[in-house]
Structure 1
Amino acid sequence: MEKSALQQARKAYLPKLPEALKGYVKVKEGAPTNSVDNQEEIKKLFPNTYGMPIVEFEPSDVEAGQAMNVGVILSGGQAPGGHNVITGLFDTIKKMNPDNKLYGFILGPGGLVDHKYMEITADFIDDYRNTGGFDMIGSGRTKLEKVEQFEKGIEIVRELGIKALVIIGGDDSNTNACVLAEYYAAKNYGVQVIGCPKTIDGDLKNSQIETSFGFDTATKTYSELIGNIERDCNSARKYWHFIKLMGRSASHIALECALQCQPNICLVSEEIKAKNMTLNQIVENICEVISYRAKQGNNFGVILVPEGLIEFIPSIGKLIEELNDLLAAHGNDYKGLDPVAQREYIMAHLSEENKQTFATLPDNVARQLSLDRDPHGNVQVSLIETEKLLSDMCAAKLAQWKAEGKYTGKFSALHHFFGYEGRCAAPSNFDADYCYALGTSAAHLIANGKTGYMAIVKNTTAPTSEWKAGGVPITMMMNMERRNGEMKPVIRKALVELDGKPFKEFEMQRDHWAKETCYIYPGPIQYWGPSEVCDRPTRTLALEQE
């Protein structure tokens, strides 16, 4: 494999580990746990993996020395640091016993079902240390939820002598890991399943998971780009930049980038939902800022838009819920129709309130809301050009104000969508260390006989040596939610908390940022140099852990 100078230098980087993971470990168990909600339903669905204790690793003098082969799966969208989870896992199981083998299933969970795999060897894995991407073994979005999939998986697991599977994924992927762990436990198959918390969106976190891996690197990558645009914006002084940022459900990425870059406007979906705002109210608020700045002679600015905004506008959210149920129940009737007939079909089946909302949407947005869902039943919001929708509506509103003599400025909009640019960036020092510790923790969870657990690392704003590692039962994070027209057990997504410190900090500053030009230019991720530059956590994490 050809390597850049940066890759070659990063290959030599040795991730820092918490003291508790540097040698042999023992497990300290806490009290039994309960799910975050719907306890009776979750307990009934997961009788073999419910109620287990949180565990923490402590240094030990006893060598594990266990013989165990392990399988690893990358699931869902890419996130910086995934390769380091695998290298941490590999190094630790080899340290336990040099004969242990690590098998990677190719292109995600589908590789387990279709028996597509490779043995990960020392020579092979060395090229991927501290690199971005999931190209080591590839990823996929196959859902593991059917008995025939579980049974196909056990065939190859037994053939390879695999003791445990490690599934590296987000909330939906780890929900699938929990279902798989329960099935194998119920069948007494003797196969463990461990999850790892991955998603750049930042919505897989709770009292035990301080941050999901990849969020640190992705937000720093986006913030560099936003800072570059802010610098250009403040130089040309003639454009309003509408920047849509990844994050299909929560606004964590947009909020973190706002705290790092101080744009003129950052929309937070959770606030818009809480205030029951309409699309027109959002546009009017933006236009008021544009008009104020125009009066100061500043016909330019930067606006951050979270990817999932549309779903959080209450009237549109209600429409999406009904559309989800409609498509789940009548999808086959609907799919064969042409676009015009599909719109008529939807209008004929919607309730009166949602029909009115659907009718007011631009055709391209209405079309996207009524297309096939992703494998987890979600609207494919990345396909909706929310940033262009908002700028078009702002242009129309400002033209109306100009005709009424309320606005005298100039409005020119440029559009950006930052998504894939951040998902496969070379991991920051934080993510390189964090992910390596997660992989190491996963190996120790396996060695200690755990299944249905997610590897965790806590105390992450302290120096790395003081981080605490262990595992949390996945059932502890679960509740019941409607998916594809049915109530299903899923890990609860963590949304931006409007009474949390990160949002409060943003709320305190945003009026000043709207009126004045207060841009910050973070620059590129730094790997070598002063610790305060190279190893700093996200603003979100620092504020939450104060």
Structure 2
Amino acid sequence: VEANVGFDTICKVNSQLISNICTDALSAEKYYYFVRLMGRKHSHVALECTLQSHPNMVILGEEVTASKLTIFDIAKQICDAVQARAEQDKNHGVILIPEGLVESIPELYALLKEIHGLLKDGVDAGKISTQLSPWSSALFEFLPPFMKKQLLLHPESDDSAQLSQIETEKLLAYLVETEMNKRLKEGTYKGKKFNAICHFFGYQARGSLPSKFDCDYAYVLGHVCYHILAAGLNGYMATLTNLKSPVNKWKCGAAPITAMMTVKRWSQNVGSTSIGRPVIHPATVDLKGKAYDLLRQNAQKLLMEDMYRNPGPLQYDGPGADAKAVSLCVEDQDYMGRIKKLQEYLDQVRTIVKPGCSQDVLKAALSVMASVTDVLTTISSSSTSGQQFA
């Protein structure tokens, strides 16, 4: 699945709002804006909005997880960026944060899990702080009151935190302000007093009219669903690939839902036997992908040079109406097209390697196919084991 219906709309609306904030930051020259974006655990929206609007900095959950960054590591990164910009007489900036960042920070995620376990056991929210493990208790007591209250909220039905209610952007702004005031007193920071303004962009984009791309996308998916029903298929999901091309070049298909499912483990309590449930495994931001690589290539320029970009409002006709997500355009995600190409290669092999072919052709084919099979088996098993217990 190259894109979800609604992703294009959410990113375009948020990017316009972010660009407005960038303009205000550049005008006022005295505020740092911390903007939290919807998107649950994964950071696709934050990445795409960064590529569209060019804020100074973005914190991706996948980066935090891969590098095992703590909340203090992230705060230090931001503080160092603020100090570097202040040395160029820039006392403003815009920082994007994904909604699910709190679940990517190891110590906060461990604290959340412990709190959720106690809530499941029926422990009153007001007494949880006294029953936490020593390490979690120390972290909990360190947090500001608003964050304590939000972490004590009951989890969603899938055991995840109420991410929209946890103001991670305010926690980061609080930690950064504390550290910058400390540096100011010590004389290591010589810029202006740090001032932060926080925003959460969720409902603004979710309540928007759909973009032209999403209108076309949903319409064609509905058309494909009709053909799936007409063919008598059950348990299939309509899919479209080659979405970066014009609509008349989109490729329609149907994928069995079971092919997209893995087993996720849930446990009722810490130490109890886990229960496996089939789920559709969501795709994370690929840290080896072209979209992320594009971000990394420009990260330093975005941080220091204020390359703010305003994509403007949604367009339904004329210039900009057919603009697509940057991450969609730079990635080569034509899955069904690749399947078709593979099938063509296999058909060619069948026409060459058949009864009557020479011994040399047969030996070469066996050697190559054995190597390919070994490589694919290794890749397949490693990717499956990585997803199965996510």
Whether the TM-score (by the shorter chain) exceeds 0.5 is: yes
Distance in 2 separating the partners of 1:482 and 1:396: 39
Greater fraction strand? 1
Partner deviation per Cα, 1:428-469 (whole Å, 9 max, x = no partner): 111000000111111211111111111111111111111111
Asked if 1 retains the 8 angstrom alpha-carbon contact of 2:8 and 2:211, the reply is yes
| 1:271 paired to 2:60 | no
Aligned AA for 1:477?
A: M
Q: Structure 1 residues 326, 449: closer, same or farther in 2, change over 3 A?
A: farther
Equivalent residue in structure 2 for 1:405, among 182, 187, 200: 187
Equivalent residue in structure 2 for 1:431, among 210, 214, 234: 214
Distance in 1 separating the partners of 2:225 and 2:290: 31
Partner deviation per Cα, 1:347-368 (whole Å, 9 max, x = no partner): 1xx4x54444444333432332
Asked if 1 retains the 8 angstrom alpha-carbon contact of 2:71 and 2:105, the reply is yes
Deviation at 1:342, TM superposition (A): 3.1
Where does the alignment leave 5 or more consecutive residues of structure 2 unmatched?
A: 269-274, 334-390
Asked if 1 retains the 8 angstrom alpha-carbon contact of 2:79 and 2:180, the reply is yes
Distance in 2 separating the partners of 1:258 and 1:380: 24
Partner deviation per Cα, 1:251-301 (whole Å, 9 max, x = no partner): 111110100111111111110111111111111110111111111111111
Distance in 2 separating the partners of 1:355 and 1:387: 22
Q: Which residue of 1 aligns with 2:356?
A: none
Q: Which residue of 1 aligns with 2:151?
A: 369
Matches within 5 A, 1:332-351: 333-334=122-123, 337=124, 339-345=125-131, 347=132, 350=133
Asked if 2 retains the 8 angstrom alpha-carbon contact of 1:324 and 1:484, the reply is no
| 1:387 paired to 2:169 | yes
Distance in 2 separating the partners of 1:302 and 1:314: 25
Deviation at 1:397, TM superposition (A): 0.2
Q: Which residue of 2 aligns with 1:465?
A: 248
3-state SS in 2 of match to 1:308: helix
Q: Which residue of 1 aligns with 2:316?
A: 527
Q: Which residue of 2 aligns with 1:308?
A: 100
3-state SS in 2 of match to 1:281: helix
| 1:511 paired to 2:300 | yes
Greater fraction helix? 2
Partner deviation per Cα, 1:404-448 (whole Å, 9 max, x = no partner): 101121211111110011112111111000000111111211111
Distance in 1 separating the partners of 2:149 and 2:265: 22
Matches within 5 A, 1:478-489: 478-483=261-266, 485=268, 486-489=275-278
3-state SS in 1 of match to 2:313: coil
Distance in 2 separating the partners of 1:396 and 1:353: 22
Aligned AA for 1:527?
A: Y
Q: Which residue of 1 aligns with 2:51?
A: 259
3-state SS in 2 of match to 1:446: helix
Distance in 1 separating the partners of 2:30 and 2:137: 39
3-state SS in 2 of match to 1:534: coil
Distance in 2 separating the partners of 1:315 and 1:545: 36
Deviation at 1:325, TM superposition (A): 4.1
Q: Which residue of 2 aligns with 1:233?
A: 25
Deviation at 1:377, TM superposition (A): 2.1
Deviation at 1:244, TM superposition (A): 0.7
- Could you state the TM-score of these two structures normalised by the residue count of structure 2? 0.80
Distance in 2 separating the partners of 1:426 and 1:539: 20
Partner deviation per Cα, 1:22-46 (whole Å, 9 max, x = no partner): xxxxxxxxxxxxxxxxxxxxxxxxx
Asked if 1 retains the 8 angstrom alpha-carbon contact of 2:130 and 2:137, the reply is no
Q: Which residue of 2 aligns with 1:494?
A: 283
Matches within 5 A, 1:20-31: none
Q: Which residue of 1 aligns with 2:381?
A: none
Asked if 1 retains the 8 angstrom alpha-carbon contact of 2:116 and 2:154, the reply is no
Asked if 1 retains the 8 angstrom alpha-carbon contact of 2:30 and 2:195, the reply is yes
Distance in 2 separating the partners of 1:229 and 1:417: 12
Q: Which residue of 1 aligns with 2:113?
A: 321
Over the aligned positions, Cα root-mean-square deviation in angstroms equals 1.7
Distance in 1 separating the partners of 2:3 and 2:201: 21
Deviation at 1:482, TM superposition (A): 2.8
Distance in 1 separating the partners of 2:153 and 2:305: 41
- Could you state the TM-score of these two structures normalised by the residue count of structure 1? 0.58
Distance in 2 separating the partners of 1:478 and 1:326: 30
Distance in 2 separating the partners of 1:325 and 1:444: 46
Q: Structure 1 residues 309, 487: closer, same or farther in 2, change over 3 A?
A: same
Q: Which residue of 2 aligns with 1:446?
A: 229
Q: Which residue of 2 aligns with 1:421?
A: 204
Q: Which residue of 2 aligns with 1:154?
A: none
Distance in 1 separating the partners of 2:184 and 2:323: 46
Asked if 1 retains the 8 angstrom alpha-carbon contact of 2:46 and 2:97, the reply is yes
Aligned AA for 2:128?
A: Q
Q: Which residue of 1 aligns with 2:326?
A: 539
3-state SS in 2 of match to 1:414: strand
Aligned AA for 2:190?
A: T
Asked if 2 retains the 8 angstrom alpha-carbon contact of 1:376 and 1:483, the reply is no
Distance in 2 separating the partners of 1:408 and 1:217: 41
